[in-house]
Amino acid sequence: MPPCPPSGGHFRALTFFAEAPDSVRAARDMTRTALQSWGLGSLAEDARLVVSELVGNVVHHAVPDDCLSQPGAARRVDVLLKAWPGWLFIGVADEDSTSPDLPVADFVFPDLAGTFVEAVLPDSGRGLFIVQRLVDALWCSPKEGGGKIVWCRFDLDPERVDGRPSAIHA
């Protein structure tokens, strides 16, 4: 059984620039390395996908607020990983205060979709829909001075509501 994060928890933060061709890959790799070193390797693949989607959204969609924008400057992306006993938090911060369109409910009703599920998926927001399905909570908070942080939480409790094994006890 992998160890629980110590009572003080773990924290890792890295800054990337959206214009760098390897920013998404670097964020995924940092996530895997951190989780493996914290004894949470069984959660690494889901967390890597979440980070990939969130950083990818910044790369493709974020436009810095006027107060944070400088002509020709690279767009900053901060990836925050926080592990506490019972939880893993992932935050992706950018310089755009516009909140993402977070999914508010399930988009797909399998009985209605039959074998053509793609027909009932939304035209946009699929990445956040995937993130929402992988995590236990997803929300957005403003940053002081401009920008936002999109947060998600993985519950690491021994018993999961949906019956999946937790990352700590998998």
- Give the 3-state secondary structure of the chain: CCCCCCCCCEEEEEEEECCCCCHHHHHHHHHHHHHHHCCCHHHHHHHHHHHHHHHHHHHHHCCCCCCCCCCCCCCEEEEEEEEECCEEEEEEEECCCCCCCCCCCCCCCHHHHCCCHHHHCCCCCHHHHHHHHHCCEEEEEECCCCCEEEEEEEECCCCCCCCCCCCCCC
Which range is least confidently modeled, 68-82, 91-105, 148-162?
148-162
Q: Quick one: what percent of the chain has pLDDT higher than 90?
A: 55
> Can you give the pLDDT at residue 127?
84
pLDDT tens digits, one per residue of 66-97: 888 788 788 999 999 999 889 999 999 999 99
pLDDT tens digits, one per residue of 19-68: 999 999 999 999 999 999 999 999 999 999 999 999 999 998 898 888 88
